[in-house]
Amino acid sequence: MRKYKVAVVGATGAVGLEMIRMLETREFPVETITFLASEGSRGKKLTYNGKEVSVELLTKDSGKDVDVALFSAGSAVSKEIAPSFANKGCFVIDNSGAWRMDENVPLVVPEVNPNDLSKDKKIIANPNCSTIQMVVALKPLHDFAKIKRVIVSTYQSVSGTGQRGINELAEQIRAWAKDETLPQPNKFQYQIAFNLIPQIDIFTGNGYTKEEMKMTNETKKIMGDNSIEVSATCVRVPVFRSHSESVWIETEKPLAPQKAKELLYQAEGIQLLDEPESKKYPMPLFAENMKTTYVGRIRSDISTKNNALTFWVVSDNLLKGAALNAVQIAETLVKKDIL
């Protein structure tokens, strides 16, 4: 089997570290691996397959002699650096929002739209974490019954904001446990411990946040169907890891709950966990560090006579919502003989 020269950009961040772990655990065929980051992380030692690797400074020339680079260093860095990697023949799989809605850049979830990948499109966008887990669940249902409309409410963990968000929740919980004054919020708009914040990213002119509009626009692009209407409400919750979503769909064809369960049971990347009588349903506690998307609580919407279902989706946002999906894209490039 051919092996590849791989780079991880933003290697010391929360997602970058998970990218490294996914490359290891999934045994991606690596010939050489390079860890790249900003000046502040240069020289830091990271481990790959039991060997120490020093983090190098990211520059526009870092893409030389690299076959595939996994980027998780933010939109500004991706906009500046990714094209120089691509111009050197490197495939860039970018986890930021920089390229997602660019019409010349595929936005890929391998279980949904692997055929959007091609040899001539060197920059590939990794979708937003909350969008990924939803479309994995929507795809088999859409193929069978054609989804017309989606209403989704998300319950997004603090790890979606990186290590600073995780630390802020932990510090507030520790202070509460010691009966001390809670530290002032820094990463979040308000105290996140024991609270919910119905705002992720900034508000746009239509009253929706940018995070909510990402779910609307990205879903249409990934599913390849602009007729699907999506309305999202995105909420930050005091959970360390894994995002949860309450999803309502309306379909053109009738779709009974039992048929939906059958379709999801057979779907790639899905684990059906829907035994309410035994209190078995997806929760972030179960999804943490797991590589699958869990779906449960599947039921008909009793408030309408239209073809409508409601269900619950949970996935690890740092894995399927970010690092795992990126590595799966790289795997798909290999499988399709594109890389």
Residues belonging to the active site: 129, 243
Give the mean pLDDT of 74-91. Answer: 97
Q: Cα(179)–Cα(176) distance, rounded to whole angstroms?
A: 5
Query: Is a pLDDT exceeding 90 seen at residue 136?
Result: yes
Query: Is a pLDDT exceeding 90 seen at residue 125?
Result: yes
**What rounded mean pLDDT belongs to the chain?**
97
Please report, for the chain, the start and end positions of each structural domain, with discontinuous segments joined by +: 4-127+322-335, 131-316
Confidence category of residue 112, pLDDT binned at 50, 70, 90 = very high
In the three-class reduction of DSSP (H, G, I as helix; E, B as strand; rest coil), residue 9 is classed as: strand
Q: How far apart are the first and last CA of the chain?
A: 13
C-alpha distances in angstroms, 88 versus 33, 96, 113, 185, 330? 17, 21, 26, 43, 17
Task: Write down the pLDDT at residue 151.
Answer: 98
Task: Write down the pLDDT at residue 1.
Answer: 81
Q: Cα(310)–Cα(296) distance, rounded to whole angstroms?
A: 9
Give the mean pLDDT of 135-144. Answer: 98
The tens digit of pLDDT for each residue in 17-42 reads 999 999 999 999 999 999 999 999 99
Quick one: fold of 131-316?
Dihydrodipicolinate Reductase; domain 2 (3.30.360)
Task: Write down the pLDDT at residue 262.
Answer: 98
Q: Cα(267)–Cα(251) distance, rounded to whole angstroms?
A: 18
pTM: 0.96
Contact 158, 192 (CB under 8 A): yes
Joined tokens for residue 238: 């005091």
The tens digit of pLDDT for each residue in 243-297 reads 999 999 999 999 999 999 999 999 999 999 999 999 999 999 999 999 999 999 9
Question: Residue 256: what are its φ and ψ, rounded to 5°?
Answer: -75, 150
Quick one: fold of 4-127+322-335?
Rossmann fold (3.40.50)
Mode of pairing for the β-strands spanning 91-94 and 123-125: parallel
Query: Is a pLDDT exceeding 90 seen at residue 304?
Result: yes
